[in-house]
Amino acid sequence: MSSASAREFSPRLRADLEWSHHGDQARWIAHDPVAMQFFSFSELERSATRLMMGRLSFSEIVAQLRQSYPALAIDATWVSSLLSRLQMHHLLQPRTRADTLRIAQAQARRQMPGWVQQLLSPIAIRVPLFNPTPLLNVLSPLAHVLFQPLLLLAWLVVGCVLGLCVLREVLTTGLAASINWSILRGDGWWLLLVSYLVAKSLHELGHGLACVRYRVQCRELGILFLCLAPCLYCDTSDSWKLPSKWQRATIAGAGMIVEWILATMAAGVWLITQDGSLHSVAASMMVVCSVGTLLVNSNPFLKYDGYYLLSDLWGVPNLSEQGSDALRALAASALSGRPLERWHTDAPIALLATYALVATVYRTFILGAILWISWKVLVPLGLGLIAVLLTASLLFGLLLGYARSMRRLWREVLLAESIRVGRWIVFFTLCLLAAALVFTVPLPHVVRVRGVSDYQDKQPLFVNQTAELIYAAPVNRRLPAGELLLEFAAPESQYELLELRGQIATLEQTLQQLRLRSTLDPSSAYLIPTKTEELQQLHARERVLLREIASLTHTAPHDGYLLAGTHVVRPSLTAPRDARFRHNPLDPNLIGSTCDRGTLVGWFSRREHRILTLIVPEQEIKRLVVGMTATIGWDANIAHLGRGKVVRIAPEPILETPPELVGDATLLSERNAQGVFLPSKPHYEVTVDVELNSSDLLPLRGSLATAQFALPAQTIWQRLVEAVRNNLKPLS
């Protein structure tokens, strides 16, 4: 705007703008009902806009501002900057028909049709229903009680205490052991869905109750399909009129307050209940209302409650838009050399640009996570076409947003008076270096998996029949050859042997009498062959019983150690639910426990040759081959590193999680209806032959370890392509 045109120009502010004074921040907020945006002005800027009624020229406005504020150095440059800001956001009344057409075209480009916005953002589809004001007026007593400061403080304290109790329980028993998610399989997933719907619906109702509490109109209530899951939503946009930022922040965070209360009650129910539907529903409610709220609703980088909470407390309306403008202004200044204009932001440009950059990265990450989850859930259900359409829509919307931002940046750079060739050369050089890093520079690639130490020469000790353990040698103590290891007692077999021997003695006496009688009465000799054959059968059965009874005693074939097996004693019907107190039958305190036929009670080994049994996920097993070298670190001795080679890779997935790895953070296991822990995803068993020197600290059997395999180096692009192939599998 030239000085001559400025003097002739009589600016006129749009009459349809809505204004609200925020006294605690000494700011005025203007609401554009057409663009549905908010703009912040200082007291001085608001005074200047009051003079823009179309009757005063530019120079007259400058003169009146100097007269009203003599202590401030107000000049034409300051007023011109304010006018430029108003024109940029189309807050001034158009002067000509051409200006009106230009503004309408700009707003049409900025505001896409509703159906286009829904198509480009299918993870958040809104369906308006009705005005909830009558319903909220009925619930107004609840609103006044719910948001009492003392009551909120009490819920905060109780929630923290119960949260610490839940955390202690999870850390003590492990997540898989603490929460039985197997009940949510099959038709049980409805429990999780209902918990989600109830939590999110009450969340939105909390926003409406907060509006009633502070006498703000809630204009609309509807259904929001968030990631295809339905829940309620309410329109609380009128809260911008409230003068107190704390009241606006309370309305923005009311849903999180309600979910905190729900999580507190769910934690109490979970702590006092045992296995069952109520226990699992309480666990799912805790997850939805705590972790879900923390990652989504309270996150300031997504346009949900946390975003508006930060915007109100920081005093930056349109935080996302201002952050994008600041980031684009920094980029334009760096490329063109044009100085930064700080008049159109409500916070330092560097902070706003940092926020915009972090928010962009985080939203892109969340988008990728949503796509990954949608493929993992929809494809196995036969809904692969929906996953493809959802992926295409989200990616197209993301690329369109990036393209529009780059277009605006390009236009702003071209508006510069001169092009700095040196800056552009540096920019393109950095772009080429980044492309080279992504496509050509190989980076180290390793695979880390968890495993359990074991002995290669261990011999299993089974129970051949259901019997009672009456003796067990000391575990993990060196025993000489011939030493008694295990001794079982089978009363049924002993009773059967005694009965059988009685039958044998009776039959032998009968045969002896028949032989004596045959000398006097030859006709009685015909019974001798039959009784002899019957006696032979009884002796054969006796030998079988003796072998079975002898198998109940195990002796050491050579010197070595008795090792405990993985079998645990079944608890009685009156025993507590907690599975942590089950013991192995070789426990000296449990001598006399009964073991079923075929039970693996223990092992016998020299403990000389170590192996490491690794549990490798399906996506990593194809990278490993027999003969690969692994670097091993044991949890019990983190300062010592061992080495080993892969000697076997199982062709089939494991059917049960090793007991030592149940609850391990790197291996998520779920307990089925039979109480057996299974990996949530297919895992394979890999055996590594451990190389140990005489000076090495020998790890005991059952010691946990982490094995690391060095794989061929890959570029970032290769890893990205491989991740897409592994996670976004083609439709079957």
Last residue of a domain, one of 50, 79, 110: 110
CB 531 within 8 Å of CB 504: no
Amino acid (one-letter) located at 343: W
CB atoms within 10 A of CB 66: 13
| Angstrom distance (rounded) from CA 265 to CA 571 | 31
Last residue of a domain, one of 292, 315, 338: 315
pLDDT tens digits, residue range 646-677?
999 998 898 888 888 887 878 888 877 777 78
**Is residue 26 a part of any domain in this protein?**
yes
**Is residue 80 a part of any domain in this protein?**
yes
Nearest alpha carbon to residue 372 among 729, 716, 7, 710? 729
CB atoms within 10 A of CB 134: 8
Indicate whether 480 and 582 sit together in one domain: yes
**Is residue 512 a part of any domain in this protein?**
yes
Cα–Cα distances (Å) from 449 to 306, 550, 707, in that order, read 37, 43, 6
Burial label, 511 (beta-carbon count in 10 A; 0-12, 13-18, 19+): middle
Indicate whether 165 and 264 sit together in one domain: yes
For the entire predicted model, the pTM comes to 0.60
Coarse DSSP helix, strand, coil percentages of the chain, rounded to the nearest 5 percent: 50, 20, 30
Indicate whether 497 and 544 sit together in one domain: yes
**Is residue 728 a part of any domain in this protein?**
no
Indicate whether 140 and 256 sit together in one domain: yes
589: DSSP letter: G
Indicate whether 93 and 195 sit together in one domain: no
Positive or negative torsion for Cα 63, 65, 70, 71:
negative
| Angstrom distance (rounded) from CA 670 to CA 667 | 10
Ordered DSSP codes for 144-177: HHHT-HHHHHHHHHHHHHHHHHHHHHHHHH-HHH
pLDDT tens digits, residue range 7-21?
456 888 888 888 888
pLDDT tens digits, residue range 241-268?
788 888 888 888 888 898 899 989 988 9
Burial label, 393 (beta-carbon count in 10 A; 0-12, 13-18, 19+): middle
pLDDT tens digits, residue range 202-245?
888 888 888 888 888 887 888 777 666 677 778 887 887 788 88
Indicate whether 67 and 80 sit together in one domain: yes
Domain around 339: 318-441
- The answer to whether residue 430 scores a pLDDT higher than 60 is yes
Give the three-class secondary structure for 82.
helix
- Write out the two tokens for 56: 């005063």
Last residue of a domain, one of 541, 571, 600: 600
- The answer to whether residue 160 scores a pLDDT higher than 80 is yes
**Is residue 183 a part of any domain in this protein?**
yes
Long-range contacts of 721-726 (CB under 8 A, 24+ apart): 726/619
Nearest alpha carbon to residue 469 among 584, 376, 586? 586
What is the total residue count of the chain? Answer: 732
CB atoms within 10 A of CB 534: 15
Angle at 513 between CA 512 and CA 519, to 5 degrees: 100
Indicate whether 248 and 163 sit together in one domain: yes
Indicate whether 9 and 105 sit together in one domain: yes
Nearest alpha carbon to residue 355 among 295, 406, 405, 311? 311
Indicate whether 118 and 75 sit together in one domain: no
| Angstrom distance (rounded) from CA 157 to CA 147 | 15
Check which CATH number belongs to the domain holding 649 and give it: 2.40.30.170
Check which CATH number belongs to the domain holding 55 and give it: 3.90.930.60
Nearest alpha carbon to residue 202 among 224, 232, 230, 229? 232
**Is residue 722 a part of any domain in this protein?**
no
Check residue 180 and give its pLDDT. Answer: 53
**Is residue 688 a part of any domain in this protein?**
yes
- Write out the two tokens for 706: 């982490």
Amino acid (one-letter) located at 174: G
Indicate whether 250 and 174 sit together in one domain: yes
Indicate whether 296 and 324 sit together in one domain: no
Report how many domains make up the chain: 5
Cα–Cα distances (Å) from 665 to 66, 171, 182, in that order, read 67, 11, 18
Indicate whether 645 and 682 sit together in one domain: yes
CB atoms within 10 A of CB 610: 23
| Angstrom distance (rounded) from CA 323 to CA 339 | 18
**Is residue 725 a part of any domain in this protein?**
no
Which segment of 65-69, 150-154, 537-541, 701-705 scores lowest on mean pLDDT? 701-705
- The answer to whether residue 175 scores a pLDDT higher than 60 is no
pLDDT tens digits, residue range 468-516?
888 888 887 888 888 888 888 887 887 888 888 888 888 888 888 878 8
Ordered DSSP codes for 86-150: HHHTT-BPPSSHHHHHHHHHHHHHHS--HHHHHHH-TTEEEEEEE--HHHHHHTHHHHHHHT-HH
| Angstrom distance (rounded) from CA 249 to CA 257 | 11
CB 29 within 8 Å of CB 43: no
Nearest alpha carbon to residue 486 among 545, 544, 551? 551
Q: Which stretch of DSSP H or E encloses residue 230? A: strand 229-234
Nearest alpha carbon to residue 106 among 94, 114, 120? 94
pLDDT (mean) for 717-722: 82
